[in-house]
Structure 1
């Protein structure tokens, strides 16, 4: 019998691991996950690197080397994280080649402190791309208002981008437009758009966390009946929007001229409510041409007991619309939900970034 992760792959979902550390690379664990769990990519963020470096995870030698050069804390972080991503890119290179650049991708994020600075975001995106120096790297840029023009500019320079921190459909529509504008800009500059890839990371579990808190405050039976339904419904409508947007004439024209679609990526798929099935955000978000980036705990749960029965998105648009309408009827302001989540998302990544700086500072001092 095939494993659930194999069935998920066969259903058109690319499985990416939402984690990376130096020891995961050097121990061969990453190769094992590729071989045994159908993993075809990796995403990282400041929280992941902070956890790995503060826990050690094979960084003593790298820290000592940075100390010897007199590197600043930020320079040390840049050197260590780009090295990890470069090495992971090399591990995934055969998958990148086999899928013609669709998978085999490793993401690295610009500093979250730049989330509201377009020019600085573009400059760091280019620096990260150049320093990693691998075709299969994806540069993560947040979908803030300042991030949108940075996405266009970075794509226009021929750099592949993972757009992160997307919570609402309105912003998602702007993200897809920013990508297409960037592709058109690259083409105008003589850059082959066929070499540019992008994913749009649409967050799921954090939506349920915020909405369920508001439903509990409302407290009516109608509100209680909607608990833990918003995240999946919102993501399903994002896929509907994706199929509509890339069916429009301007997008079709670019795709016909060798450009790639910007695939939806389901992020924040680790279940935070212990009362929910631990594979909820995998099983309920299956559709061809998507990516699901999973923490290892979710990946292992899916491999162990995930129930993959094929597409669970495209036949459920009407129900997803009903859920969102019902949320509005009971008094949930979803526009405010997404505003709060974006602000909190940036704040959480900035907090993790500063904790990462503190961890590296302490390690440099102790080296």
Structure 2
């Protein structure tokens, strides 16, 4: 009797997380993930449900990955600027990645299979320019599962509202406080009401709002490290989860809002909370974030090392957010007694968010500058006219 072939190594499974109501996303996409087939395997075998761009992780592939060489050389040969080359490469990547997720998008009727894309952060304080950029990107990518990322600055709130009003899916980024989250939810409701008045189908408009959990804990833990004694030590690593629990409580409250019930009756979907930036202290330490931020109707964007660690070692303990708001408030109260005002820290993180994005955006342009022209042929359009 012929011996059957050995089974190939099995890709780790994220479906236990999905069964708890959490959609696992990949944080950081680049062309090689799609062209190598790895992204498709993560979707089919592991249960990956979405993805987001991450400019901080893209500069390296743009500079070194052979998958970009031909396109960038062709663009350089036609004297396309670094900015135009980044745009063309990004649009190409987004089309590929959106296509990979279209099956999930259709199977889940638009609930999952979403791909979130950064806009130029230099426009973050100009709502009209942000909306124009969002419209241009959506037209260039031309896929139904695209979301545009908009920082939740005061100006960004207007852009979030207006993009939703045009029927575009939106990922509101950089939420650090329940106060700012409430403003984003108001912008979401305002935008859906505009969309409904304009005749858009609300069931086709997706949105998420994200808390960068790693940045919260890094900043608070840095301050705690300067305070001697066991009380400060005991609070390290607890703040991000506390902030997430309070946001989830606010999410639940807003779903009981009469205004939301009217929108829901017209087909609107809840704006989900998304946890990002969980890579703190190395991939091996990150399963605690994945397991510690679990509740129905949420999503978690993980970098590839964190995702791979999660599928190997994930140990879930059920819902960790629902009904935990009192414990979360106690954490912030304890911080306050040590002289750390979480509200003030959140405001500082909000202020620092856009300048950090601008710096990562600059590095993308630097990554493609000076590449040699090597191919002839028609150039790819840098922007839509």
Same fold, judged at TM 0.5 (above): yes
Give matches, 1:143-182, under 5 Å: 143-182=152-191
Give SS of 2:80's match. coil
Residue 107 of structure 2 is matched in structure 1 by 98
Give, in angstroms, the shift of residue 275 of structure 1: 11
Q: 1:295 aligns with which of 291, 303, 314?
A: 303
Instruction: State the superposition RMSD in angstroms.
Output: 1.9
Q: What is the distance in 1 between the residues matched to 2:91 and 2:37?
A: 19
Q: What is the distance in 1 between the residues matched to 2:284 and 2:177?
A: 23
Q: 2:22 aligns with which of 13, 16, 25?
A: 13
Q: Does 1:37 align with 2:37?
A: no
TM-score, reference length from structure 2: 0.91
Give, in angstroms, the shift of residue 223 of structure 1: 1.9
Larger radius of gyration: 2
Unaligned 5+ segments in structure 1 are none
Q: Does 1:324 align with 2:328?
A: no
Give SS of 2:49's match. strand
Which consecutive aligned stretches of 4+ in structure 1 deviate over 4 angstroms post-superposition? 1-4, 364-367
* Total equivalences in the alignment: 366
Q: What is the distance in 1 between the residues matched to 2:179 and 2:90?
A: 32
| Residue range with higher mean Cα deviation, 217-226 or 169-178 | 217-226
Q: 1:213 aligns with which of 202, 222, 231?
A: 222
Q: Does 1:245 align with 2:248?
A: no
TM-score, reference length from structure 1: 0.95
Q: 1:189 aligns with which of 188, 192, 198?
A: 198
Deviations 1:295-351 (A, max 9, x none): 011111111111013211114222111111111121111122112212222222111
Residue 232 of structure 1 is matched in structure 2 by 241
Quick check: 2:291–2:316 contact (8 Å CA) kept in 1? yes
Residue 120 of structure 1 is matched in structure 2 by 129
Give SS of 1:201's match. strand
Unaligned 5+ segments in structure 2 are 1-9, 376-385
Quick check: 2:76–2:371 contact (8 Å CA) kept in 1? no
Quick check: 1:14–1:291 contact (8 Å CA) kept in 2? yes
Q: What is the distance in 1 between the residues matched to 2:372 and 2:200?
A: 41
Give SS of 2:369's match. helix
Q: What is the distance in 2 between the residues matched to 1:366 and 1:203?
A: 40
Residue 135 of structure 1 is matched in structure 2 by 144
Residue 340 of structure 1 is matched in structure 2 by 348
Deviations 1:189-223 (A, max 9, x none): 11111110100011111101001111122324322
Residue 98 of structure 2 is matched in structure 1 by 89
Q: What is the distance in 1 between the residues matched to 2:86 and 2:282?
A: 34
**Cα distance, 1:281–1:186 mapped onto 2, change above 3 Å:** same
